[in-house]
Amino acid sequence: MEERVEHFGTDKYPLALRLLHWARALLIFGQLWMGWTMVRLSDDLPAKFDWYYPTHKEFGVLTFLLVVVQLAIRSRTTLPASPDGLANWEKKCSKAAHYLLYSLAIVVPLMGYSMSSTYTQSDGVPFFFTHLPELLPKNDNWFKVFQWLHKTLAYTLLLLVVLHILGALKHRFLDADRRNDVLRRML
């Protein structure tokens, strides 16, 4: 009978980064769903502006803070090297995708905050037991720019996340080389 050698153990991401990866993934899915849903609700529905908008802003700021913590921990950690079974272009593409995912996870909430700040009819951003101040002067033209950027970059992030998930599933279920199963490193 053929013997299969499994490479379990040493090349996992550290626990803190694994926990943060999944917490942040959950938050980003929630934010994408909430953003998509809330802008399509009727303005007459009181929950739209009383609950959806403030909650979206609150959890958006939380997502931003989580990514900052994640990047700080990451910068002090030795990360597992890319599996040897991957082609060079695959290693380069996945590194570039991770870089872009981090960049968008930072820039999208910043654009949301800037949009909220410049909008003449909004007043600060609720954040759990406190209220964060507006950081930019009110200006409806700038609001429109930030609104466009927030929307476009949020859906670019969604596209990238879909590709990211497809990549992880491909390496787990379609690659013959078991060392390429990167999902195991993140579980």
Chain residues in the site for ligand HEM (CB under 6 A): 21, 25, 28-29, 31-32, 35-36, 39, 53, 56-57, 60-61, 63, 74, 79, 82, 94, 98, 101-102, 105, 108-109, 112-113, 115-116, 125, 147, 150-151, 154, 157, 161, 164-165, 168-169, 182-183, 185-186
Taking CB atoms within 8 Å and a gap of at least 24, the contacts of 113-122 are 113/57, 113/60, 113/61, 113/64, 114/142, 114/146, 114/150, 115/143, 115/146, 115/147, 115/149, 115/150, 116/57, 118/142, 118/143, 118/146, 119/143
142 versus 182: smaller Cβ distance to ligand HEM: 182
What is the closest distance, in whole angstroms, from the C-beta atom of residue 151 to ligand HEM in the complex?
4
Which three-class secondary structure state does DSSP give residue 96? helix
Strands (E), the chain: 125-127, 130-132
3 versus 130: smaller Cβ distance to ligand HEM: 130
4 versus 118: smaller Cβ distance to ligand HEM: 118
What is the closest distance, in whole angstroms, from the C-beta atom of residue 5 to ligand HEM in the complex?
20
Torsion of CA 56, 61, 63, 69, to 10 degrees: -170
150 versus 176: smaller Cβ distance to ligand HEM: 150
What is the closest distance, in whole angstroms, from the C-beta atom of residue 94 to ligand HEM in the complex?
5
